[in-house]
Amino acid sequence: MTLIRRVLIGIVGLLLVLDCAALVLVKQGPRPSEEKSKLVIWIDDKEQAELAVETLKGMDYEPMLKAAKRDSFVKANYRLVYPGKRELLEPIANVLRKGGHTNLSFSEDGTILYYGGVYTQKAEAKRIAKSLEARERVIFEVQPGQKKVTVPSHRVILLEVPDNFIADITDALEAVPEIEVVETEETSLTPKEEVIDEETVEED
C-alpha cells in the first residue's frame, strides 16, 4: 500500500511540474523569430495615433510617433458608362448617333460605351443620364473616377519587430474600437542570401 501511495504521489508531482512548465511557456509566448522587419502603422487622427502608441507601450514595445503626409484617392470626375459586349454596344451607339448624340466613345477593350465627357459634379452627370433615359430609353450608369490627393496623417513606427509578432501587433490595434488604422507597411530587415549563378562562376 505504501508503494502504491508513493507511486501516486510521484505521478501527481510530475503532473504539477508539467503544468507549471506549460504555464511558463504560455506566459512567455512564442520565441521571437530571427527574421525582423520595420513596421510602420499609418493613422490619420492624432489622438488615435497617440492611443496606438500607448497600446504598444503596454505590450513592451517602444514605438515612435511622427506626423507625415500620405497619398490617398478620392472619388472625382464622373462619367456616363454603358458596360457590355462590343457587338451589343455598337447598335446602341448607332441609335444614339441617329438621334443626334455625337459625343460617344468606347473603352480600349470595347466593353464600355461612354456618353459625353468628364463631369466634375455627380449631380450634373446624373441629370444627363436621366435625360437620356427619358428621351432614348437607354440607361447609362454614373461612374466615378479617382483623383490622388495628399492628406495629413501620422506614422507609428516600430524599428525592429520579429516577423512572427507582427500579426499580434496589428490584431491588438484592430481590437481597439477607437483606433482606425489606414494601412501598414513592412520592410524586411533580414538580409537575403545572395544567389550565385553557377554559370557565371569561372572554373579554375
Examine the domain organization and report whether 103 and 23 are in the same domain.
no
pLDDT tens digits, one per residue of 142-197: 999 888 899 999 999 999 999 999 999 999 999 999 999 999 999 999 765 544 44
Examine the domain organization and report whether 2 and 55 are in the same domain.
no
Examine the domain organization and report whether 57 and 77 are in the same domain.
yes
pLDDT of residue 148: 87
Range of the domain at 1: 1-28
Report, as an integer, the average pLDDT of 82-90: 93
- Indicate the pTM of the whole model: 0.58
Q: Quick check: 140 pLDDT over 60?
A: yes
Does 80 map to a domain? Answer: yes
Examine the domain organization and report whether 5 and 38 are in the same domain.
no
Does 204 map to a domain? Answer: no
pLDDT of residue 8: 47
pLDDT band at 58 (very low <50, low <70, confident <90, very high): very high
Greater confidence (190 vs 118) lies with: 118
Q: What are phi and psi of 173, to 5 degrees?
A: -70, -40
**Whole-angstrom distance, CA of residue 132 vs CA of residue 125:** 11
Report, as an integer, the average pLDDT of 2-29: 50
pLDDT of residue 36: 94
* Bridge partners for 72 per DSSP: 149
Examine the domain organization and report whether 53 and 125 are in the same domain.
yes
Does 19 map to a domain? Answer: yes
Handedness of CA 61, 65, 71, 72 (dihedral sign): positive
Does 195 map to a domain? Answer: no
Examine the domain organization and report whether 154 and 95 are in the same domain.
yes
* Total structural domains within the chain: 2
Examine the domain organization and report whether 59 and 124 are in the same domain.
yes
Examine the domain organization and report whether 2 and 100 are in the same domain.
no
Mean pLDDT of the chain: 84
Does 196 map to a domain? Answer: no
Cell numbers at residue 117, please? Answer: 465627357
pLDDT tens digits, one per residue of 94-116: 999 999 999 999 998 999 999 99
pLDDT of residue 5: 54
